[in-house]
Structure 1
Amino acid sequence: MTAPVASRAGFSWDLRATHAAAASCRLPWSLPGAGHVVDGGVTLVAGNGRWLRPLRATVSLAEGSPYWSADITLGSEEEAVQLDVGDGLALSMCGHVFSLRVDQRAEDEQGPVTRSWRVQALSPLAWLDSPYVLSSDIYFPAGTTASEAVAELLAPAAALAWALPDWTLPTAGLTFTSTTPVAAARAIVEAIGGLLESLPDGSVVARRRYPMAPDRFASAVPDIELFDSEAVSRSVSTLHVEIVNRLSVSDGADGVSAQDRLVYEPGANPLAGTVRAWPNPWRPVRLVHTGRPEVVIEARGVRTWAVKETVEFKDGQATLSTPALALQAVEWRYVDLGGVTLDGETLTAAYGEGYSLADVRYTTRAWVWAVADDKIEDVQFLLEDDDDE
């Protein structure tokens, strides 16, 4: 037979662009002998329309990464040297066309005979991030919406699809110092719990990090179902992680570490005493313990009382022994540092760099419980939010 034998190998793989949590497609194949054709459904075209001959290609997108990454092995040195960093590529595989730009070129040589040429490529969005763009100061005036700001940042490289709730930037505007367009765009999107992600065609979507709310996981219909029979490899690792039993969300100031204060005050009877609690932020709480059933807790409600103490001001600030509800009077013993403002347990004087002592009178409030035991022992007391109050 003199006619070539035509053979074809088809690879079917469904890549969901709407939820590429950790998507990866690898299709290795070898060049056939003379007279044979193997079509793996993979093509590579340079930006100038020149067809290239890929021997191996891997594309991947990790959750949290804003752009696709491709590792391509070319068939000849001639093809590799004709590509420069920044050149466009169109990689067709797995039923998708990936719009990419050359990020790196590499040549591997093993012995006197074996040589290979590799190209690493990224989505066009990467050219708005370090090291391809210099960091600069970025400002958006008040009234700009989040989607408008992100679209403006990414306009030079990619079109934006906004799939998040939109909001107006702060009244004072929004300023980024010494950053890249991609970093600024990610900061805006992630502020509402979203992700900035490139699609195979080079466009960008700002989507929810979790497409389905956690309380709907049990009733949700999955986009893709995978079973043990479809897994070609698996690895298992054991990790030590920190767990919590309760999570509280408050309206406290961003960046301020809120912490409840719990104080035990022994009474005249060594088997009884008083527990006072200053929740931060203030809220209804109840006292529980991890001891024996003989430990008794009796709620006394919220108590308010006056406190007088001497505090030391350093660099214009002093700390009270208990959180204050209201400041009543300040009497300077030495240097008068001016008016004083109160924020929780912190006092701030008008003259912020001074040092002095002051007698301070203020009111405080706390949740109070009487506690008792039938023997002397260590008991752990804990605060829990009281949802019934």
Structure 2
Amino acid sequence: MRLHTIALAAAAVLLAACSSDSSGDGEGGAHTPPPLTTTATSGSTAPGEPRKVAGNLKAPWGMAFLPGGDALVTERDTARLVRVKPSGEQEQVGTVPGVDPGGEGGLMGVAVSPTYATDRLIYLYYTAEDDNRVVRATFDRTLTGTPRPIVTGIPKGGIHNGGRLKFGPDRMLYITTGETGETGLSQEKDSLGGKILRVTPDGRPAPGNPFGNLVWSYGHRNVQGLAWDDKGRLYATEFGQDRFDEINLIERGKNYGWPEVEGVGDRDGFTDPLLTWTTNEASPSGLAYAGGSLWAAALRGERLWQIPLDNGRTGRPVARFDSAYGRLRVAATAPDGTLWIATSNHDGRGEPAADDDRVFSVPVR
């Protein structure tokens, strides 16, 4: 019997004690399923006390760091690009043209070119009038010129728009997309919906892609988090529907099951998740790797999940900052090794505090 099918009673007790009650779909969650399962157990060192870096943002969605340590933060509904310094200073450095916000769509992911020091390029994922798309733009203190589309035709909808952008260790750009509620798109290899895409910096299919197009992996419902460990393995968070949210180990050409499988299916042709949560415990969005653990920002779960890693296997998750800050959307590793997280209490599903939305810096020990 595969280890990840064994329910851990102790974890179930812990998670049941800190679960929340909500309803909805996508970023909200739904019904109550069986308890969390995991592949391994290991210890984990608690992070340090969060330090507030910035406040009074409106639904921050994406975050990427410039070489000097400043963060570029996107706001989903306003289409603003905000520069946040570790000292706490923040300024609007642009408004992205062509963004058509609505539902779970708007200005979402941001990535900084691996060769930013010479090309001054950043990448943005947003919902336009007819599609979701990725554009490349010049950024030198401010957003300048007209962003150039490099990937268009990603399906858009009121829900499940994906939206995370990250450059991998191979210097290729990885793009997460959702199936917009049209579940069949996830299994169509020629559709850009319900996928993780891998492209060159100018938007072409990356060398080595399994199907000769932009697709790297498929069978996804709605991926909003990507992170690589120190061995170059890629992990992703995925929203479940009624039963299981997931952490997946992403590999070339693999089918992750949606809509045929939610959670662990043990079915030929589908790749099972490393880890599952109930939907009210997580609704995981942003994902980062630091200090030997994955860190998943939970929206409905209103906590930061620490998931220790041991040679590509996930240990027992630990809930950090449970209900302390509300909905968490962003988790990103700063150049100095600290973990930055951002709340999402202005996204229409939260209860904003007076200074929301906020960005925090968390020491990782």
Same fold (TM over 0.5): no
TM-score when scaled to structure 1? Answer: 0.20
Q: Which has more radius of gyration?
A: 1
TM-score when scaled to structure 2? Answer: 0.21
Relative contact order: is structure 1 or structure 2 higher (C-alpha 8 Å, sep ≥ 6)?
A: 2
Instruction: Report the structure, 1 or 2, having the larger helix content.
Output: 1
